[in-house]
Structure 1
Amino acid sequence: MRICFFGSSLVSSYWNGAATYYRGILKEIAALGNDITFFEPDAFERQAHRDIDDPPWARVVVYPATPEGWQRALTAAGRSADLLVKASGVGVFDVELENAVAEISSRALRIYWDVDAPATLEAIAGDPAHHLRDAIPRYDLVLTYGGGDNVVRAYRAAGARDCVPIYNALDPTAHHPAQPMAEFTGDLSLLANRLPDREKRVEQFFINVAQQLPGRKFVLGGAGWDTRPMPQNICKAGHVGTAQHNGFFSSALATLNVNRDSMARYGFSPPTRVFEAVGAGACLITDAWEGIDHFLEPGTEVLVAANGDEVAGHLDALDPARAESIAQRARTRILAHHTYRHRARQFHNLLEHMNTRTEAAE
């Protein structure tokens, strides 16, 4: 099957947390015999901050971030695709692309793939004139990378023909234990770009904890934090490219996951960082959200904190031996049940079902 995929970027993780997800799932989809073309705009200096060369399993088309650029790209995709995918959060001309894919005259199946479904659904709910209210019913399928039954029900209520979560996962060839890196060593690390709907939670679960524990060392990776005042025991690492992720997660006693506001409210939305960290052999502490036990067992495979005080408590009770035990159990669980090979097989089965249903209707 020829799959044309419009997303933020496949080759750069710069201000692009979805890069790991795209790479993991599309590589395994290609391994099942599909032909992948990834269309991404030349925007936000991502091409100047590439993490990888064009991969052998996908053709990457970088189009100008202009009206003419996306229109030419979509015209080319519409001519060749058996399956046309528009991901959320491309970053430029999202509204135009989402409407155009819904309306395109093409034999291709159309999928809207939402990599931030809770935020999208809250935007739709708050805006009676939101463009997706008209566009979504014209897509053949909505896929999301999280959200569970709450997201499925909300998308069906918004007119989706069907909605299926395909969760984040682990690519064990990309994310695995590595040698610690001196610049990332400490007691607790966090890798998260500075975003408006995450910053308060980072303050609660990380920055305030550092203030509580002045004798501990904290490491904060991610873009956007350079202007944010921090306690002296927080080391700002700045943007951490994907080539350094394994080293980052392998260097501290524990690493922290902090969900964005909407993802925490909906639950069942583990971000890519959860699987990257576990794959690299990190002991993970996460903020509390419904559905964590679907992926990892609290207390033995992950430490769950409802607030900053509980993060501090977990850190105080943690020693290297216990951290290693939690990390090993978590990695065993994820490798057994939550790799991108598992997710690609789920995607393949969905397409087979869709094609069978289409053939029966003809």
Structure 2
Amino acid sequence: MNIAFFASSLVSAYWNGAATYYRGIVRALHERGHRVTFYEPDAYDRQKHRDIPDPPWAEVVVYSAQDEAEVLRTVESARGADLVVKASGVGVYDELLERAVLDLQGPSTLVVFWDVDAPATLDRMQSDARDPFRALVPRYDLVLTYGGGEPVRRAYRGFGARECVPIYNALDPSTHHPVPPQSSFEGDLGFLGNRLPDREARVEEFFLRAATRLPQRRFLIGGSGWGDKPMPPNVQNLGHVYTADHNAFNCTPLAVLNISRESMARYGFSPATRVFEAAGAAACLITDAWEGLETFFEPGAEMLVAHDGAEVAAIVDALDASRASAVGQAAYKRVLAEHTYAHRAALFDEVLQGRATEVETLA
């Protein structure tokens, strides 16, 4: 199948939290025999902060996002693909792309909306009856999401989606795996995530409050945007941590922390990419509590769960290297058995085959 994929970026994780997800999915689709052309705009200085070259498992087309005409020409170049994907959060001309890709729809071309931030999209449509995407949802052949479970499926169907299926985040074992520790990442608890409006308050609670309660312990925070954020003296701000260093970041501290964005925690069933990255590195992961966690990992055995910063601090204070290793190894075993991008790509094929058969029947 020839797939045209319009999204934020495949080659740069700079201000692009979906990069690992796209890489895992696209690479796994290539390994199943699909041919992917990935269209990404030259925007937000991502091309200046590439962390991988153009990969052999996808053709990357970088287009200028200076005017609508150029965007429309880029969309037209994808005509004839078997499948056209418009991902959420491209960052420039999203509304235009959401309309334009539907013009490529036809008897031999399915058009899919792939939502990598369904809680934000749904909240936006629910709060604004004039949101232009509301009228477009029923026209897409299929909506895929990278999280959300049944609450998201029900919400999308409520907006008229023909079908909505979650294709969850996962692990690419070829890129995220155990490595030797790195001295620059030594500490008791590490957190990796960009500073975002619906995450910041939860970072203050789960990470900074925990650090304040354990002044004798060393905490690490990595990600863009934290430079002017006041931090306790036992917190080291690492700035942007490139993808190539994520394995060492996960393998070195005693434990690493996952903090869901507020909207994702509210919808549930939305494990962040970092969860699977950490499990793939056999890290001991402490996560904030969210509905659906037990669908992916066993709380207390494969992940440690906290409901607030005080509980994070208590877990870290009681944790020793032996316990941390046991939790990390259990998560590593589970993620390889059930949660790789090969598993997700197999589901993608199954869903697409079913949708294509349905379209042919209707035709």
Shorter-chain TM band: over 0.9
Mapping of residues 232-311 of structure 1, within 5 Å: 232-311=233-312
Deviation at 1:103, TM superposition (A): 3.9
Q: Residue in 2 aligned with 1:179?
A: 180
Asked if the contact 2:105/2:111 (under 8 Å) is kept, the reply is no
- Asked whether the 8 Å contact 1:298–1:304 carries over to 2, the reply is yes
> Shift in Å at residue 343 of structure 1?
0.3
Aligned residues: 361
Report how far residue 119 of structure 1 moved: 1.1
Instruction: Point out where structure 2 has 5 or more consecutive residues left out of the alignment.
Output: none
3-state DSSP class of the match of 2:77? helix
- Structure 1 residue 205 and structure 2 residue 206: aligned? yes
Deviation at 1:131, TM superposition (A): 1.1
1:33 aligned to 2:30? no
Closer, same or farther: CA 260–331 of 1 in aligned 2, 3 Å? same
Query: For residues 27-106 of structure 1, what are the structure 2 equivalents within 5 Å?
Result: 27-66=27-66, 67-77=68-78, 79-104=79-104, 106=106
The answer to whether the 8 Å contact 2:258/2:275 transfers is: yes
Query: How far apart, CA to CA, are the structure 1 residues paired with 2:177 and 2:94?
Result: 34
Q: Do 2:268 and 2:290's aligned partners in 1 also have CA atoms closer than 8 Å?
A: yes
Cα contact 1:99–1:131 (8 A) shared by 2: no
- Residue pair 1:188, 1:218 contacting (<8 A) in 2 also: yes
- Contact kept, 8 Å, 2:147 with 2:269, in 1: the verdict is yes
Determine whether 1:121 maps to 2:85.
Answer: no
Amino acid in the other structure paired with 1:88: S
* TM-superposed deviation, 1:196: 0.6
Name the amino acid aligned to 1:56.
P
Q: Distance in 1 between matches of 2:345 and 2:206?
A: 33
Pairwise CA distance, 1:104: 4.0
Rounded to whole Å, the distance in 2 between the matches of 1:50 and 1:110 is 28
What TM-score, normalized to structure 1? 0.98
Q: CA deviation at 1:357?
A: 1.6
Looking at structure 2, the residues matched to 35 and 105 of structure 1 have their Cα atoms a distance apart, in angstroms, of 18
Q: Percent identity?
A: 59
Residue 19 of structure 2: aligned partner:
19
Separation of aligned partners in 2, 1:205 and 1:301: 19
TM-score (norm 2): 0.98
> Which region of structure 1 is more displaced relative to structure 2, 65-74 or 212-221?
65-74
Shift of 1:281: 1.4
Name the amino acid aligned to 1:240: V
Whole-angstrom distance in 2 between the partners of 1:124 and 1:188: 37
Deviation at 1:68, TM superposition (A): 2.5
Question: What is the Cα deviation at residue 102 of structure 1?
Answer: 2.8
| C-alpha contact 2:104 2:111 (8 A) present in aligned 1 | no
Whether the 8 Å contact between 1:102 and 1:136 is mirrored in structure 2 is no
| SS state at 1:310 partner | helix
